Amino acid sequence: MTHWIDTLVRLRDCGQPAVVVTVASTRGSAPREAGTKMIVTAAAVHGTIGGGHLEHKAIAIARDLLIGGGPNALRRFPLGASLGQCCGGLVNLLFEPVIDAAPWLDALVELRRDGVDGVMVSTTNGVAAAGKLVVASNRTFGSVGGDVEEEVTALARQILTSGDGPRLLPLGDGEAALTVLLEPVRADEFAIVLFVAGASPGSTSARTNFRATYRRM
């Protein structure tokens, strides 16, 4: 399976704008876990956030962003009757347009090349996708701006130490308040996704998702 970083670098180098759709957080039953990514271009979709009406809606929103432009956007989706999905949980999706050089991508490529784990910090409320912070144990790249940079860097390094998964966190107060998504990017991580035919009783979906992540210790 091609890593999402490789896919995004290839699209960027070809001058093809894209929107990265990330499962920022979940509550209750959801088709995919936090950190799952899907990359949407005008003509193609790379990866999946679980299929169904949620994914179709996310693709439509991403393509509207490609046409109309705009900053990062965090959207909340209850998984019930309105989306025709039976999960019954809640999913927050982050939409990030990537339409320029995106130097943070080069930082992630460098960390993977060096075999170094990192944490990617994305703003979710109105800052362009290029305004991103990548944190490793001994270096940082980029910025999320504002007065929370030191706090965000410390939180990112806590995730590196603890091995925790993605975290969606509100930070700051008043006009300086922002919400950030902190995502670990492990240098030696890969994912296997199996789609199993069959549906449980009462389910509206005939696809079950299974995800296994291997990490060398």
Query: Which of 27-31, 33-37, 119-123 is least confident?
Result: 27-31
Tell me the two tokens of residue 126: 């109105």
pLDDT tier at 217, thresholds 50, 70, 90: very low
DSSP structural state of residue 43: S
The pLDDT tens digits of the residues spanning 177-213 come to: 788 999 999 987 644 445 444 443 333 333 344 444 4
**Residue 9 or residue 214, greater confidence:** 9
pLDDT tier at 175, thresholds 50, 70, 90: low
Q: What's the full length of the chain, in residues?
A: 217
What are the DSSP calls for 65-128, one per residue? HHHH----EEEEEE-SGGGT-S---EEEEEEEEE-S--HHHHHHHHHHHHT--EEEEEE-BS--
The pLDDT tens digits of the residues spanning 84-116 come to: 555 568 999 999 999 888 899 999 999 999 999
Beta partners for residue 183, in sequence order: 120
Residues 6+ apart with CB under 8 A from 141: 103, 104, 107, 133, 134
What are the DSSP calls for 132-156, one per residue? EEEE-SS-EEE---TT-HHHHHHHH
Q: What does the domain layout of the chain look like in residue ranges?
A: 4-98, 103-185
Predicted TM-score of the model (pTM) = 0.82
Phi then psi dihedrals of residue 135, to 5 deg: -120, 130
Task: Give the mean pLDDT of 25-50.
Answer: 93
The pLDDT tens digits of the residues spanning 117-164 come to: 999 999 887 544 446 899 999 999 998 876 788 999 999 999 999 999
